[in-house]
Amino acid sequence: MAFLRDIIATMRPRQWTKNLLVFAAILFAGKASDPRALGQVALAFVAFCILSAAVYLLNDALDAETDAHHPDKRNRPVAAGRIPVHEAILLAGVCALLGLAVAHFVTPNFGFLITAVLYLALTTAYTIWLKHIVILDVLAVALGYVLRAVAGAEAISVAISPWLIICTLLLTLFISLAKRRCELILLENGGIEHRRILQHYSLQLLDQMIAVVTASTLVTYCLYTVDDRTIQVVGTQNLVYTIPLVIYGIFRYLYLMHEKKLGGQPDQLVLTDIPLLLTILLYTAIVAAILYMLP
């Protein structure tokens, strides 16, 4: 039982919340009330959770030696030696095959399976290589989220909005840069040893990139809500009223990053910071009301 708990912990189920992004397309496509479409997206979510688990297992296996010297990561089952490296790699392969098998049954359209394969290839490349290349490391993480959003659209066979792709890319790039900034501060004394890519970043550089991405994200979302194509697809101009929530959410994240020195674990931050969590829930509820309840 202890070994099983270690395996589950290495799969990092708490981080599977990132895969909820596959539900974005069904919400904005107006199909959230379709039981069949909901079932397809739910299965897509399961597939991406399994694929994510495969990547986490591989990551911990490859980084076991480095993680053993990290103040927190040394307690991970693989780094601590409770799960042998070769077994973690074997389990990663099993999860990868299982995840792709589930992806095959999501829809007869091969678009979803292809997207799942691309996601697995990108995240594997990130784990092995891309995370060591400056700027490409954060871009690869952001593209992983974009592929989740695209997969959600492919699961229900709808054309994904270019606005959704751009907004997802910019927002997740913002979060990735904020994470790097937090790591640079918290691991100041030994950060380069634990994550060598940090030697290529500075607080000034990260702050400049974050400022550019923040402004781009807000402008892009504002343009999305008033775009003629958006209004035609969703059938309303009322999405413009969600802009204040988006502004508050991003500014709240900036506040937590700069003043509270948070942001190193964005998945936990979203779930533990009550104002940020309420903002996300309120935004989702308002969008659902605008698209499904209001004329």
Which residues, 6+ apart, have CB-to-CB distance to 176 below 8 Å? 138, 141, 142
CB atoms near residue 195 (< 10 Å): 20
CB-based burial label for 92 (10 Å; 0-12, 13-18, 19+):
buried
Domain 1-160 grouped into CATH 1.10.357.140: yes
Q: What is the mean pLDDT of residues 192-208?
A: 82
pLDDT at 192: 52
Q: Which helix (H) or strand (E) holds 208?
A: helix 203-226
Nearest-angstrom CA–CA distance, 159 and 229: 12
Measured CA distances, 40 to 106, 112, 115 (Å): 6, 10, 15
Question: pLDDT tens across 236-245, in order?
Answer: 899 999 999 9
Q: Is the pLDDT of residue 229 over 60?
A: yes
- Per-residue H/E/C for 36-52: HHHHHHHHHHHHHHHHH
Percent of the chain having pLDDT more than 90?
61
DSSP 98-124: HHHHHHHTT-SSHHHHHHHHHHHHHHH
pLDDT at 56: 94
Mean pLDDT across the chain, nearest whole number? 90
Residues 248-271 as b or e (16 or more Cβ within 10 Å = b): ebbeebbebbeeeebbbebeebbe
For residue 20, give both structure tokens. Answer: 């909820």
Model confidence band, residue 135 (pLDDT cutoffs 50, 70, 90) = very high
Measured CA distances, 201 to 65, 107, 122, 192, 263 (Å): 23, 42, 22, 10, 16
pLDDT at 295: 56
Q: How many CA atoms lie within 13 A of 230 on its CB side?
A: 18
Domain boundaries along the sequence of the chain: 1-160, 161-295
CB atoms near residue 211 (< 10 Å): 13
- Which residue is it, tokens 């092995």? 128
Question: pLDDT tens across 71-117, in order?
Answer: 777 778 888 888 899 999 999 999 999 999 999 999 988 999 999 99
Nearest-angstrom CA–CA distance, 210 and 11: 30
Residue type, 133: I
For residue 259, give both structure tokens. Answer: 């003043």
Q: What share of the chain is helix, strand, coil (3-state, %, to 5)?
A: 80, 0, 20
For Cα atoms 279, 250, 229, give the angle at the middle one, nearest 5 degrees.
Answer: 85
> Which has more confidence, 144 or 264?
144
What pTM did the predictor assign?
A: 0.90
Distance, C-alpha 13 to centroid of its chain: 13
